[in-house]
Amino acid sequence: MGAVLALMSAIMWGTSDFMGGKMSRRRPALAVYLGAQAFGFIGLITAGVVTGALSTSPGYWPWAIAGSIAGVVGMYSFYQALALGPMGIVSPLVALAVVIPVGFALLLLGEKPTSLQAIGIVAAITGVLLASGPELTGAESLKPLIYSAVALVFFGVMFITIAEGSKTSALMTMTGMRATSLVFIV
């Protein structure tokens, strides 16, 4: 079941990134983000009602708020990068956001990866760099790269806040993040 959920998640994220990138070339990045957040919020509230998670202890709120701020900055930067630069460069670079929580766990929490995990980390980073490298011609503007770097850092921070908030409730952390982000961007 875990593999099926992971595959579904990858398909949804990939589709969302692709559609968001296409839409942000025609509409302002903030408008695209607002639509995505509103749509997601409706789905999460529905899931909260169905599962009874709405009555969860509010311990997730500080993490949801921090994650929302990081998510708003990260997503706005990501959509701006997609609007200004090639998707083949922007998406792989922003995918390196996973390095932030891994670094957090290794450096601040003292976790030690197994040899296989370390090989996987190096392979993933190498793959991302190779995937985006062929399109780097030097003729590209630095703006999409800067926006990509900002998105990478803020998405990484957002992943950490999701992990911490999930210790109380994953669903409500995500719902709180969507609710807070809607307040910020409206």
Instruction: Write the pLDDT tens digit of every residue in 16-49.
Output: 777 877 887 788 877 887 888 888 899 889 989 9
Q: How many domains does the chain have?
A: 1
CA dihedral 63, 68, 69, 75 (to 10 degrees): 140
Provide the domain limits for residue 56.
28-185
Residue 89 within any structural domain of the chain: yes
- d(CA 149, CA 165) in angstroms, rounded, equals 24
**Considering the entire predicted model, what is its pTM?**
0.80
The residue type found at 183 is: V
pLDDT, tens digit, 9 for 90 and up, residues 76-129: 899 889 888 888 888 888 888 988 998 899 898 889 988 988 898 888 888 877
Residue 16 within any structural domain of the chain: no
Rounded to 5°, angle at Cα 181 from 17 and 8: 35
Q: Which residues contact 22 (CB under 8 A, 6 or more apart)?
A: none
Residue 17 within any structural domain of the chain: no
